[in-house]
Amino acid sequence: MNIDSSLPNFRSLDPAQRLAHIVAKAGLDARETALLSQSGALPLETANGMIENVIGKFELPYAVAGYFQINGRDVLVPMAVEEPSVVAAASFMAKLVRASGGFQTSSTGPLMRAQVQVMGIGDPYGARLALLHHRQEIIDIANSRDQVLIGLGGGCKDIEVHVFSETPRGPMVIVHLIVDVRDAMGANTVNTMAEAVAQRIEQITGGTVRLRILSNLADLRLARARVQVPAALLESKHYRGEVVIDGIIDAYAFAAIDPYRAATHNKGIMNGIDPVIVATGNDWRAVEAGAHAYACRQGHYTSLSTWEIAKNGDLVGTLEMPMPVGLVGGATKTHPLARLSLKILQIKTAQELAEVAVAVGLAQNMGALRALATEGIQRGHMALHARNIAIAAGAKGADVDRVAREMVAAKDVRADFAAQLLKQDRA
């Protein structure tokens, strides 16, 4: 089904009206609609089956970012997040970029690494070659554990053997299983394989196997997004497009060289990615760990994205990073809203989900840099955060918008000012 992801005036609707709009656009059925209209889509019984010691459920706002066009296809993006201005900024940039062809994305195959740590070896390089000599046998043992995955075209495809000849515990040989996990995030899948090959690895090397676990530096499972924006599209009332581009390039240069800035820059990227990961029931710690480890791959922590000026003066942004996400496994099938998010996204493979996530990350990065390089982050962010502050100060009903409005008009968005405004109005 081809949808139009534009959401004009969406912000002026109330949540029920917004839901009705998305129900129509995404073709949600009555049961799916009910999940979003009732409070609590996750039954306590299901929650109790997901983790340990459950006593309740913790809810987050669930929103839809509009205007995304990815590889020519319109996509509505569900986002579960607690931070104001994230969804607005993503939608804003998607709207702006839409006029210049949207986001172009691509991805590698869904290859994950599992590591098997071998200790107690005197000749680590000799052990390495012995292991590589038995490469096919090790692959076959790994694959004997997961017929479903093999049937789907996945499974262990290769091995690598890394040697650390000097460690505080003597030489260490690390066997990597390179596993195509298809539409799973794959942690459990590859961990099972790593445990399965351990005994044979001990026999081959004469060493002792310790850890058998996936690596969250999923550098063989990359997703990429690219965007190209003419200066004219970045023009605003107060800033020429060229000035905005120059500011974004300066901001990028700062993040590229300074880890203090890169951490914040990358947090801005994750502002877009994490809400998609959460909304689809995926493991956001795995995605975060992979992202920041990948940002260090050149030996120092740096920006995950790049921003450049093309020969014709257009702004060009790219993002390439690990994206270990699944449509099966973990909570992706147990949490009812995770399935619903996939329906809204209209995606069929984990690779498509990975590509959507990086496109949203790049949009979010662009939104933050555009604001930072021009008027600063506070006007847009604090204007939206003002409602949060008003609620925290005790405002209810119509007071929430009124107190927020008054704080924004006074350019003073603070909890004590909100409390003061509330007290004044009650007096």
Ligand X SMILES: CC(C)(COP(=O)([O-])OP(=O)([O-])OC[C@H]1O[C@@H](n2cnc3c(N)ncnc32)[C@H](O)[C@@H]1OP(=O)([O-])[O-])[C@@H](O)C(=O)NCCC(=O)NCCSC(=O)C[C@@](C)(O)CC(=O)[O-]
Ligand Y SMILES: NC(=O)C1=CN([C@@H]2O[C@H](COP(=O)(O)OP(=O)(O)OC[C@H]3O[C@@H](n4cnc5c(N)ncnc54)[C@H](OP(=O)(O)O)[C@@H]3O)[C@@H](O)[C@H]2O)C=CC1
Q: Which residues are catalytic?
A: 83, 267, 283, 381
Among candidates 108, 104, 191, 105, which has minimal Cα distance to 142?
Answer: 191
Smaller CB separation from ligand X, 189 or 271: 271
3-state secondary structure at position 174: strand
152 forms part of the interface with ligand Y (CB under 6 A): yes
In the complex, least distance from residue 407 CB atom to ligand Y, rounded to whole angstroms: 40
85 binds, among ligand X, ligand Y, none (CB under 5 to 8 A by kind): ligand X
Q: How far apart are CA 400 and CA 414, in angstroms?
A: 14
Residue nearest to ligand Y as judged by C-beta position: 329
Binning the chain into helix, strand and coil, the percentages to the nearest 5 are 50, 20, 30
Q: How far apart are CA 287 and CA 277, in angstroms?
A: 8
3-state secondary structure at position 70: strand
Binding mask 364-393 for ligand X (x = CB under 6 A): ---xxx-xx----x--xx--x---------
Q: How many residues does the chain have?
A: 427
Identify how many contiguous H helices and E strands the chain contains and give both numbers.
Answer: 17, 10
3-state secondary structure at position 167: coil
Binding mask 236-275 for ligand Y (x = CB under 6 A): ----------------------------------------
181 forms part of the interface with ligand Y (CB under 6 A): yes
Smaller CB separation from ligand X, 62 or 92: 92
216 forms part of the interface with ligand Y (CB under 6 A): yes
Among 3, 50, 88, 263, binds ligand X (CB under 6 A): 88
Q: How far apart are CA 100 and CA 121, in angstroms?
A: 58
Binding mask 47-66 for ligand X (x = CB under 6 A): -------------------x
Binding mask 138-177 for ligand X (x = CB under 6 A): ----------------------------------------
Partners of 162 in the β-ladder? 174
In the complex, least distance from residue 323 CB atom to ligand Y, rounded to whole angstroms: 13
Smaller CB separation from ligand Y, 32 or 183: 183
Binding mask 90-129 for ligand X (x = CB under 6 A): -xx--x----------------------------------
289 forms part of the interface with ligand X (CB under 6 A): no
- CA-angle at 210, arms to 193 and 149, nearest 5°: 5
Partners of 78 in the β-ladder? 64
3-state secondary structure at position 139: helix
Hey, which residues between 188 and 207 contact ligand Y (CB under 6 A)?
A: 188-189, 191
Hey, which residues between 275 and 334 contact ligand Y (CB under 6 A)?
A: 283, 286, 326, 328-330
233 forms part of the interface with ligand Y (CB under 6 A): no
Structure tokens at 183: 């539409």
DSSP letter at 212 equals E
CA 388 to chain centre: 24
Phi and psi dihedrals of 182, rounded to 5?
55, -120
Q: How far apart are CA 156 and CA 241, in angstroms?
A: 49
365 forms part of the interface with ligand Y (CB under 6 A): no
Q: How far apart are CA 325 and CA 352, in angstroms?
A: 10
Structure tokens at 23: 């129900």
Smaller CB separation from ligand Y, 214 or 395: 214
Residue nearest to ligand X as judged by C-beta position: 380
Phi and psi dihedrals of 216, rounded to 5?
-80, -5
Interface residues toward ligand Y, by CB under 6 A: 146, 148-149, 152, 154, 181-189, 191, 214, 216, 283, 286, 326, 328-330
Binding residues (CB under 6 A) for ligand X: these are 7-8, 10-11, 66, 83, 85-86, 88-89, 91-92, 95, 264-265, 267-268, 271, 367-369, 371-372, 377, 380-381, 384
